[in-house]
Amino acid sequence: MQESSFISVFEAVASEVIGKNAVVKRGANLFYQLYLNRSLDLVVSDTRSPARGSSAFQTDICIFELLNGVEFPRVVIEFKPKITTHDILTYSAKAGKHKKIYPCLRYGLLASELASIPGRFFIHNENLDFFIAAKKYSSEAEIKPFAKKLIEKELEISRTLEQIHFADREFDYYRTDIIFGKFGDA
């Protein structure tokens, strides 16, 4: 399946999972930094409209949830045919910068021409939340159920992070899961 076909499937599934509050954008720009000037005013005048080249990086697709009229970024998926060590380092750094501004954001990669995740991913990744090696999955029927589970889980985690960062709640337990498996079995 071509990279663009994967993008189309993930777009459609995101809209299905979130429903009428879904906003899925190709080429969405997200801030990687916000800073203050000498008057301690935020330099960006409109934080709801990030522009590439003005402290914002472009993403392949971003799944937003419409909350009180605001497009709140939940999940970013970057699509590549294959990945190099440079790609891992670059996308991991990009994810880290975005997540400093958007602490509830989940960020991942899908490589359409890889049959398995290369070991260098585990060595060099610091900020990507998921990786999919999707070469063996050539049809929408194979990819759609997994895409739905992935998006549902990433939205759930994003909403949990939202509770941690923005709700006045206390917690006494935290744990991170690492899940390995076959794409179709997840």
With respect to residue 184, please indicate whether it lies within any of the assigned structural domains.
no
Strands (E), 13-158: 22-26, 29-31, 56-58, 61-67, 70-80, 106-111, 130-133
With respect to residue 176, please indicate whether it lies within any of the assigned structural domains.
no
With respect to residue 177, please indicate whether it lies within any of the assigned structural domains.
no
With respect to residue 178, please indicate whether it lies within any of the assigned structural domains.
no
pLDDT in tens, 33-55: 998 899 998 888 788 888 888 88
Q: How confident is the model at residue 92 (pLDDT cuts 50, 70, 90)?
A: very high
Alpha helices in 29-106 (DSSP H): 85-101
With respect to residue 162, please indicate whether it lies within any of the assigned structural domains.
yes
With respect to residue 174, please indicate whether it lies within any of the assigned structural domains.
no
User: Into how many domains does the chain fold?
Assistant: 1
**CATH number of the domain bearing residue 83:** 3.40.1350
With respect to residue 179, please indicate whether it lies within any of the assigned structural domains.
no
pLDDT in tens, 53-67: 888 899 999 999 999
pTM of the full structure: 0.89
With respect to residue 172, please indicate whether it lies within any of the assigned structural domains.
no
pLDDT at 186 over 60: no
Work out the mean pLDDT of the chain and round it to a whole number: 90
Domain that holds residue 62: 3-167
| Contact present, 184 and 146 (Cβ < 8 Å) | yes
Mean pLDDT, residues 66-82: 94
CA diameter of the chain: 55
| pLDDT recorded at residue 132 | 93
